[in-house]
Structure 1
Amino acid sequence: MTGPAPAEPPAPAEPPAPTDGAEHPGWVRNVSVFLTGQTVSLLGSMLVQYAVMWHLTITTQSGSVLMLSIVFGMLPQAFVSIFGGVWADRHHRKLLIIGADSAIAVATLALALLMVSGVDDLWVIYAALAVRSTFAGIQTPAVSAMIPQIVPASQLIRVNGVNQTIQSGMMLLAPVVAAAIYANFDIVAVFFIDVVTALIGVGLLLAVRVPRLVRADAAAPPSYFGDLAAGVRYIRSHGPVKWLMTVFAVTMVLVGAPSYLTPLMVTRTFGDEVWKLTANEIFWAVGMLLGGIAMAAVGPRVTNRMGLIVGVVLSAGVFTAGLGLATNMWVFFVLGLLVGTSFTLMSAPAMAILQETVEPEMQGRVFGFVGIVMTVAMPLSMVAFGPLADRYSVESLLVLAGALLTAFVLVVLAIPSARRSLAAVSRPVADADADADAGAGDVVPTSGTTTG
């Protein structure tokens, strides 16, 4: 995965990349198989995440150890996502996902075997977390960039809604399953299960037919770092992508604060009973689940996507400030649910817009940077707000985060170039095409496809 794939120029009779449902034969079956495999693989990964966290907490009772586990488990993905995005644009995305998932399974299997043999030093766990995170940085942008290759443009928001629903559902299911396995067996059993789920995910992905992009510059591709620089220039010069990613990043930072600080407020204000902390997590997860279900059900009928995104981000700001003003615990929980719902209602159409707007041969690099935002933004918010929570009340910080998010959206809307850029991608491509003059002629494709 260190060099460009051999060029495969499209055959003269090869049709251009499919762009709507009629030209995606079998897309429902492909998407169903793909999401099933990703769900099984995600469950295994989340089981490991919870089991490692609990294992380190119980065996070391050290905050520094937990901090290092987060560093090794997250920073490599943030760094590698930059390069993973370039690989996703230079190589077959399906094969990248299979290779990354397989490498993660091998690293987990090696960790399990070492622990069975009695080697359970912290550095072994840290090394395994770093390897898993590294290959996640390759896998994640490839998955996001591959979805538009197998999904009609008119169904992107629905499929992203389904994907968000699955991820939110895993947030409810995985802790329960991990607790049952860890309590009745040990952490090694969780590792072996993760290996099996990864292999199932790889096997199902092998059954998905994915078009392979053929870049217009395939005959003389730019250098590796030339590709990376082109991705940076693309994001900076492409108004809709630049502003959408900015909104996404700032929302992640300011929603990250309440998501991390709410357990602290529950403990300080409403009591430290375990059931209250559990209820807080459940309400947030259910909110995200409901948002995903809503996007899966009605997403394709949304004609003003930027209106929806702006509206729910503003709502998230108001609800976040409300968290800090809530004096009743159940009102606090419901507001957390509404923030979770708002976040999903924002992220599903935002991902669909990027998948629909960005040229196919640039999507890997764009989603590589999206991966960095998603990996770094929320921990970054904790770096900023965490120490403040030791000096000021959590309530005041939540009000501040909500006010900042609301003010940020209003400032963006006041910038003419931002307003024009976001309005340009507000309507789904399918609706825009329906309004276009049918006699305008065929568009010359910038890339072809071969099937892999």
Structure 2
Amino acid sequence: MITISTICGFLPQIAISLFAGVWIDRYNRKKMIMLADGMVAGATLVLALLFLTGFHHIVLLFIVLLIRSAGTGIQTPAVNALIPQIVPKDKLMKVNGLNSSITSLIMFLSPGASGAILSITTIETTFLIDVITAIIGISIMLTIAVPTHSAKESEHKSKLYDIKQGFVYLKENTFIKRLLIFLIIVMILISPSAFLTPLMVSRSFGAEVWKLTASEMTFSAGAAVGGIVIAAWGGFRNRMHTTTLACTLYGLLMVGLGVAPVFLVYLLFNFLIGITMPCFNAPITVLLQEKVEPSMHGRMFSLVQISNSCALPLGMVLFGPLADIVKVESLLMSSEILVMACALYAMNSRRLFV
């Protein structure tokens, strides 16, 4: 069931992202964000109503996961493409850092909030709360003034033509192409730390629920702090130096995670690892916002989304079976040493990102 739900959470994002990029570049990005959020809220509302009538079936959950995944495939690149339209160029790092911090804070608080809600009410009420918060979000979005972006040159072309133009743009832009390759390699290599740390906790420190919860929450708390750090600091003038430094520290701390002798030390390393994530991601987002033509923002951010959605599962195809043969700690240390090697190579290769 978990495998099927994971597939439902990834595949629609991959399938829709190419077309979503074209829609985001052609149409009003503000409306695209509201439409995606409304689509997800509508599916959740239907699910709540079906549950209330007594129709409980796990297939319904899979269908809603498919719709939510498709909505994310539209909403995430649309938000990243919208931010440069309403934020001055010199404030992009601060805003993206704060956005990352807010997202991480929500990830930190939501499990506890969900548990508290479910302890006093039903799953149907929880679904309806999700619908209400979506309505609030869409209402707030309506009040935001967003300058229009022009896409007149492609309005009479087919969607497939625009997709092709996105790949042509990527092929001709050496910097963006190398940045995307770097991101894919790193995502594949960090997949053990993204997916196998709960297995490591249960095997090495015990399978108590509070330990697995603490592992997730310390990472999210660190990521929330990291977002504030990168927003306040702003990073180095060279964005890639910030990303590669964060990548190196991530790898180094992951090695520490693999040799942690007790659970408290593990949690400390996990918290510090969380801090590095916004410092890695925010500069990449800002680089794309700065260096990509505004008319191509949607397609390039969609390609990034596709890369992330494909790279992590691909990494698990490689590392997942190995986790039943080799200790998770050994997998973490070996993969993160490779992450550090990639980061150091990128940092010292002046011709790589030009």
Question: Which bracket does the TM-score occupy, shorter chain normalised?
Answer: over 0.9
| Alpha carbons 1:105, 1:194 under 8 Å: kept | yes
Q: 2:282 matched to 1:351? A: no
Q: 1:343-374 deviations in whole A, cap 9, x for unaligned?
A: 21110111011111110000000011111123
2:164 & 2:3 partners in 1: Cα distance? 33
Aligned residue for 1:90?
Answer: 26
Deviation, 1:384, is 2.2
Aligned residue for 1:123?
Answer: 59
| Alpha carbons 1:321, 1:401 under 8 Å: kept | no
Max radius of gyration: which structure?
Answer: 1
Q: 2:336 matched to 1:402? A: yes
Q: 1:232-252 deviations in whole A, cap 9, x for unaligned?
A: 121222122112222222222
Aligned residue for 2:184?
Answer: 249
Q: 2:339 matched to 1:420? A: no
| Alpha carbons 2:37, 2:134 under 8 Å: kept | yes
Aligned residue for 2:294?
Answer: 360
2:238 & 2:31 partners in 1: Cα distance? 35
Q: 2:44 matched to 1:108? A: yes
Deviation, 1:408, is 2.3
| Alpha carbons 2:241, 2:347 under 8 Å: kept | no
Q: 1:333 aligns with which of 267, 284, 296?
A: 267
Q: 1:319 aligns with which of 240, 253, 256?
A: 253
Structure 1 runs (4+) greater than 6 angstroms displaced: none
1:324 & 1:103 partners in 2: Cα distance? 42
1:302 & 1:199 partners in 2: Cα distance? 39
| Alpha carbons 2:230, 2:279 under 8 Å: kept | yes
Q: 1:287 aligns with which of 212, 218, 222?
A: 222
The percentage of aligned residue pairs carrying the same residue is 41
Question: Structure 2 matches for 1:237-316, cutoff 5 A?
Answer: 237-299=172-234, 302-316=236-250
1:333 & 1:255 partners in 2: Cα distance? 18
| Alpha carbons 1:320, 1:401 under 8 Å: kept | no
2:68 & 2:205 partners in 1: Cα distance? 37
1:379 & 1:165 partners in 2: Cα distance? 25
SS at match of 1:235: helix
Q: 1:383 aligns with which of 285, 310, 317?
A: 317
Q: Residue 190 and residue 379 in structure 1: after superposition, are their counterparts in 2 closer, same or farther (change >3 A)?
A: farther
Aligned residue for 2:276?
Answer: 342
Q: 2:5 matched to 1:69? A: yes
SS at match of 1:217: helix
Q: 1:297-354 deviations in whole A, cap 9, x for unaligned?
A: 121x632322111111112112222222222332222222222211211101110111
Deviation, 1:376, is 3.1
Aligned residue for 2:126?
Answer: 190
2:139 & 2:297 partners in 1: Cα distance? 25
Between Structure 1 and Structure 2, how many residues are aligned?
Answer: 354
Which range moves more in the overlay, 371-380 or 334-343? Answer: 371-380
| Alpha carbons 1:257, 1:382 under 8 Å: kept | yes
Aligned residue for 1:17?
Answer: none
Deviation, 1:411, is 4.2
Q: 1:392-412 deviations in whole A, cap 9, x for unaligned?
A: 111110111111212223444
| Alpha carbons 1:109, 1:192 under 8 Å: kept | yes
Aligned residue for 1:147?
Answer: 83
Which range moves more in the overlay, 378-387 or 90-99? Answer: 378-387
Name the TM-score, length of structure 2 as normaliser: 0.94
Deviation, 1:421, is 5.1
Code of the aligned partner of 1:233: V
Aligned residue for 1:434?
Answer: none
| Alpha carbons 1:265, 1:395 under 8 Å: kept | yes
Q: 2:160 aligns with which of 217, 221, 225?
A: 225
Q: 2:115 matched to 1:179? A: yes
1:124 & 1:318 partners in 2: Cα distance? 42
| Alpha carbons 2:240, 2:347 under 8 Å: kept | no
When the two chains are superposed, the root-mean-square deviation of aligned CA atoms in Å is 1.8
Q: 1:372 aligns with which of 306, 309, 313?
A: 306
Code of the aligned partner of 1:177: A
1:131 & 1:253 partners in 2: Cα distance? 26
